[in-house]
Amino acid sequence: MGGQFGEITVAMQYLFQGWNCRGNEKYRDMLLDIGTEEIAHVEMLATMIAQLLDSAPVETQENAAEDPVLGAVMGGMNPQHIIVSGLGAQPTDSSGYPWNSRYTIASGNLLADFRANLNAESQGRLQVVRLYESTTDQGVRDMLSFLIARDTMHQNQWMAAIEELEQQQSVVVPSTFPKEKEKQEVAYSFMNFSEGTQSQTGRWASGTTMDNQSTFEYDGNPKPMGQVPSLHPAPPYVHDTPLFPDNL
């Protein structure tokens, strides 16, 4: 619930994207719709966790820790559920690490952000499916199958919104930066920097680029372009290591 792609992240992410939305009311409204839905999901999970913890004797608590799904759903099955929250849900991830707002993305560029949202729903559905696989509790599975279905919708939703935006702009974010200002000689070449050349067979190494602006090239042996970096000695008041005679 409180992990990087948990319900708290998407709820906050969609609401902040909506509140920061400048114009484009259709998207603003959609973002606030789904952001509000995610708050409801947080409540669903918090309630389910509290119910799972209901009047569970300490031993059971500990056994739960050995069932990855309960442990994970409970947001970190550790002594803190007894000591700190008194059998209540906590907004942390399954290792007890607190949720933090660096997880949320709201850049002001909707195409960039909708790709963040599609990723969040992809990672999120993957995780919920893994939870489903690792439990046999029918009540938990039933609730998870609801979340899995909603994530199916949300992935479809973001793909639809991305398609709309890509048709109005271009596929490269941001679409408004003038092409001539980027170093075009390296804008479409794949560079081989590790051992092995299997990557040469990929779609990204030949054929038309996805933005239909050029053709993919494969550079099997990229050369360094910059000169060897050289730094001046630090000024005395910084008290870095003094230069040694053999470096003067």
Question: Quick check: 105 and 9 in contact, CB under 8 A?
Answer: no
Tokens of 103: 């997880």
Does residue number 235 form part of the binding site for a second copy (CB under 8 A)? Answer: yes
Q: Does the annotation place 163 within a ligand binding site?
A: no
Q: Which helix (H) or strand (E) holds 219?
A: strand 217-219
Q: Does the annotation place 38 within a ligand binding site?
A: yes
Cβ closest to a second copy, residue 115 vs residue 137: 115
Q: Which residue has the tokens 């008290």?
A: 239
Q: Does the annotation place 154 within a ligand binding site?
A: yes
Cα maximum dimension of the chain: 75
Residues 190-219 that bind a second copy (CB under 8 A): 190-194, 196-199, 201-204, 209-211, 216
Question: Quick check: 54 and 139 in contact, CB under 8 A?
Answer: no
Does residue number 9 form part of the binding site for a second copy (CB under 8 A)? Answer: no
Does residue number 156 form part of the binding site for a second copy (CB under 8 A)? Answer: yes
Residues 70-109 that bind a second copy (CB under 8 A): 71-72, 76, 78-80, 82-109
Does residue number 26 form part of the binding site for a second copy (CB under 8 A)? Answer: yes
- Residue 105 CA, distance from chain mean position: 9
CA 106 to CA 16: how far, in whole Å?
6
Tokens of 212: 């239909």
Q: For a second copy, which residue of 138, 139, 140, 149 counts as binding (CB under 8 A)? A: 149
Question: Quick check: 131 and 20 in contact, CB under 8 A?
Answer: no
Rounded least distance, CB 98 to a second copy, Å: 4
Task: Please give the size of the binding site for a second copy, defined by CB under 8 A.
Answer: 164
**Alpha-carbon distances, residue 166 vs 27, 162, 173, 217 (angstroms):** 14, 6, 9, 24
Rounded least distance, CB 73 to a second copy, Å: 9
Residues 6+ apart with CB under 8 A from 146: none
CA 161 to CA 49: how far, in whole Å?
33
Q: Does the annotation place 33 within a ligand binding site?
A: yes
Q: Does the annotation place 121 within a ligand binding site?
A: yes
Q: For a second copy, which residue of 10, 66, 137, 223 counts as binding (CB under 8 A)? A: 66
Rounded least distance, CB 179 to a second copy, Å: 9
Does residue number 60 form part of the binding site for a second copy (CB under 8 A)? Answer: no
Residue ranges of the annotated binding site for Ca(2+) are 29, 33, 192, 194, 196
Residue ranges of the annotated binding site are 7, 29, 33, 38, 41, 121, 154, 192, 194, 196
Residue ranges of the annotated binding site for Mn(2+) are 7, 38, 41, 121, 154
